[in-house]
Structure 1
Amino acid sequence: MNAEKSEFNEDQAACGKLCLRRCEFGTEEEWLTLWPEEFLMGHYWALFDGHGGPAAAILAANTLHSCLRRQLEAVVEGLVTTQPPMHLSGRCVCPSDPQFVEEKGIRADDLVIGALESAFQECDELIGRELEASGQVGGCTALVAVFLQGKLYVANAGDSRAILVRRDEVRPLSSEFTPETERQRIQQLAFVYPELLAGEFTRLEFPRRLKGDDLGQKVLFRDHHMSGWSYKHVEKSDLKYPLIHGQGRQARLLGTLAVSRGLGDHQLRVLDTNIQLKPFLLSVPQVTVLDMDQLKLQEEDVVVMATDGLWDVLSNEQVARLVRSFLPGNREDPHRFSELAQMLIHSTQGKDGPTGEGQVSYDDVSVFVIPLHGRGQESSGR
């Protein structure tokens, strides 16, 4: 749903199959095509929430899956090798020093996680080059789910969210990255590289914005190495604008951006300054792994992925109640999962809300509902 913040939807999405080939390096041809039974098949879903315009989200929707396929194909040898379920048993993509693979406890899961992390970084660099060449600006958050070899990998960079909904369980599969949740990482970067603040900001956090009258007063504060709070006497440098200002949805990094991870934003600067935000913005996602073989999946078990426009007005539990009330009564409908996604979006518009409170989201809203039942049986297929 387009909230019409811009002419084009700042939310973008992509989904499809991932067909992986074995990559033979050091040959004249970059790719060596194998017999069909040696292909590794996976599935891919992605949501991108743009800011500063839709350009970065559109680029990410068109390119991240290609970046991911390249990164997975670079390690596919380690994924298709016959191996015990918990580790690579000394078999490695690289033939040198294979014993260290076993000693380090490197698993096939770790190769997929590394591929996702590298793909996000590759896509971020591509977006930076493309936007600079076209004279455009902007960035986007990214939430990706990949089903591969019986496991679901959820990679998140930003404030979108994925949850697992089952008959008796609601499980978060991602964590939101905001200036508040990543306070210590952001403060530590400012501590190591104080020049990034250009003398305009203070990295210290205070319960409120300090004023001139607070000079010499004893106030609470915390720095990058602190999870708790302590006291200090206010100095002149403490009166500078805070590195992270505001609370909750109003929290902003350098007074500018509400997220701390994502793609793009290479040209983004603090208003009326030359201070760049990109050094504080990570493109690397956090990856959660869901082992389908360990779940006794039921027909109504689903993963719900959505941009923050949904979660602004609905909690995990409210979404779960809507899922549980809708799916059992629509088992014969072949389109029930896409209809459920539409119903979830409809619930953000103040009509038929789960709490009856008529909550309204004024943001773009995009939702995937991914059915899990039957996926476990495909875990051994290529």
Structure 2
Amino acid sequence: MGQFLSQPITQKLHEQQSNAILYCHTASMQGWRLQMEDAHIMKVDFREDISLFAVFDGHGGAGISNYLADNFLEALVQQPSFIGEDYTQALHDCFIHLDEMIKTNVAKNTFIGSTAVVALVVQKTLYVANLGDSRCLLMRDDETIELTKDHLPCNELARIRFAGGFVNEEGRLNGTLSVSRAFGDFEFKQEPLPANQQMVIAEPEIRKIKLSKEDKFLFLGCDGLFETMNSYKVMQFIGERLERGMEPPLILENLLDSSLAIDTTTGYGCDNMTAMLIQLHI
């Protein structure tokens, strides 16, 4: 059946951690894909008052997403800017450094890659770094705030064309890749140009936001969750069930099941899915 199984794998894998202000749950599901290419990090209080959350959505294989899950935290804390408590710079430097590590240790000149959405909570300040089309959303009062924007080839045409690439009618870079920023994908990083001017770059967009008592929960999810529901529908789905007292693991299971296609006819709702819910008690 091509890139899909004959029946989806709907078993859910769960993880949960918490501290005084963060109550965190992750659920993931392979779905219709031939293998599970998502990976994630959930590290509450890996340092005093510092927690890290991340979702890595691999494509072309699970090698890079798994490598990121295994190595991101160590690479982050080793950045001089992290030691100097400049967390925005530390996230930027970590992304660039990891892409070089991947090129050396994992994959050279291949179409294997991974998107990444990372949330770093330092006391009551949130830093979000993003590559690709996974998303980080914040529910503030009853308003959904999108803390990331999708890095799609059609949105970064000037850089892609300058590097010698093109975007086809389906919005794919050189007719194959659906994102314009990612770890790996070194086939698109071969031009004699600086790293931040290649067809695909590993330079994240980073946002810093002060958390407050109006903030109810944070959500991180791979793009497969947003193929059948937009950001606002996903947050409404979660918020309504939290208000009814439903337990977070069950909410995430229901979200994954609701996002899964009944068949592979359209291709939508057929991807791996990883959902991370972080309830905030600031």
Q: TM-score, normalised by structure 2?
A: 0.79
Tell me what 1:126 maps to: 101
In structure 2, distance between residues paired with 1:310 and 1:77: 35
In structure 2, distance between residues paired with 1:282 and 1:306: 21
Tell me what 1:182 maps to: 156
Contact 1:11 1:48 in 2 (8 A): yes
Q: How far off its partner does 1:41 sit?
A: 3.4
Alignment of 1:160-309 (within 5 A): 160-187=134-161, 189-190=162-163, 197=164, 243-246=166-169, 250-266=170-186, 268=187, 279-292=198-211, 295-297=212-214, 301-309=216-224
In structure 2, distance between residues paired with 1:368 and 1:123: 23
Contact 1:131 1:137 in 2 (8 A): no
Q: For 1:324, which of 239, 251, 258 is the aligned residue?
A: 239
In structure 2, distance between residues paired with 1:61 and 1:4: 22
- Report the 3-state secondary structure (helix = DSSP H, G, I; strand = E; otherwise coil) of the residue aligned with 2:254: helix
Q: How far off its partner does 1:260 sit?
A: 0.7
Sort the Cα spacing of 1:174 and 1:329 in 2 relative to 1 into closer, same or farther, 3 A: same
- Report the 3-state secondary structure (helix = DSSP H, G, I; strand = E; otherwise coil) of the residue aligned with 1:3: strand
Sort the Cα spacing of 1:325 and 1:257 in 2 relative to 1 into closer, same or farther, 3 A: same
Q: How far off its partner does 1:360 sit?
A: 5.7
Moved >6 Å (runs of 4+): 274-278
Sort the Cα spacing of 1:47 and 1:276 in 2 relative to 1 into closer, same or farther, 3 A: farther
- Report the 3-state secondary structure (helix = DSSP H, G, I; strand = E; otherwise coil) of the residue aligned with 1:180: helix
Tell me what 1:13 maps to: 40
Tell me what 2:81 maps to: 75
Contact 1:297 1:372 in 2 (8 A): no
Q: How far off its partner does 1:10 sit?
A: 0.8
Deviations 1:10-37 (A, max 9, x none): 11111114545xxxxxxxxxxxxxxxxx
Sort the Cα spacing of 1:171 and 1:132 in 2 relative to 1 into closer, same or farther, 3 A: closer
- Report the 3-state secondary structure (helix = DSSP H, G, I; strand = E; otherwise coil) of the residue aligned with 1:314: coil
Contact 1:6 1:53 in 2 (8 A): no
In structure 2, distance between residues paired with 1:64 and 1:132: 16
Alignment of 1:123-162 (within 5 A): 123-132=98-107, 138-162=112-136
Structure 2: which amino acid aligns with 1:141? T
Sort the Cα spacing of 1:282 and 1:136 in 2 relative to 1 into closer, same or farther, 3 A: closer
Q: How far off its partner does 1:312 sit?
A: 0.9
Gaps (5+ residues) in structure 1? 21-39, 80-110, 191-196, 202-242, 352-358, 377-382
Structure 2: which amino acid aligns with 1:286? E
Deviations 1:102-142 (A, max 9, x none): xxxxxxxxx21110000011111111111248x97611001
Gaps (5+ residues) in structure 2? 1-28
In structure 1, distance between residues paired with 2:243 and 2:130: 30
Contact 1:167 1:324 in 2 (8 A): no
Query: Please, what is the CA RMSD of the aligned residues?
Result: 2.7
In structure 1, distance between residues paired with 2:111 and 2:239: 41
Q: As a proportion of its length, which structure holds more strand?
A: 2
Q: TM-score, normalised by structure 1?
A: 0.59
Contact 2:131 2:151 in 1 (8 A): yes
Q: How far off its partner does 1:185 sit?
A: 2.7
Structure 1: which amino acid aligns with 2:213? K
Tell me what 1:235 maps to: none
Q: How far off its partner does 1:66 sit?
A: 1.1
In structure 2, distance between residues paired with 1:276 and 1:18: 42
**Matched residues, percent identical?**
28
In structure 2, distance between residues paired with 1:18 and 1:70: 17
Q: How far off its partner does 1:366 sit?
A: 0.5
Q: How far off its partner does 1:350 sit?
A: 5.0
Q: How far off its partner does 1:323 sit?
A: 1.7
- Report the 3-state secondary structure (helix = DSSP H, G, I; strand = E; otherwise coil) of the residue aligned with 2:65: helix
Structure 2: which amino acid aligns with 1:366? T
- Report the 3-state secondary structure (helix = DSSP H, G, I; strand = E; otherwise coil) of the residue aligned with 1:142: strand
Q: Which has the higher contact order (CA 8 A, sep 6+)?
A: 2
Tell me what 2:253 maps to: 342
Q: Does 1:66 align with 2:40?
A: no
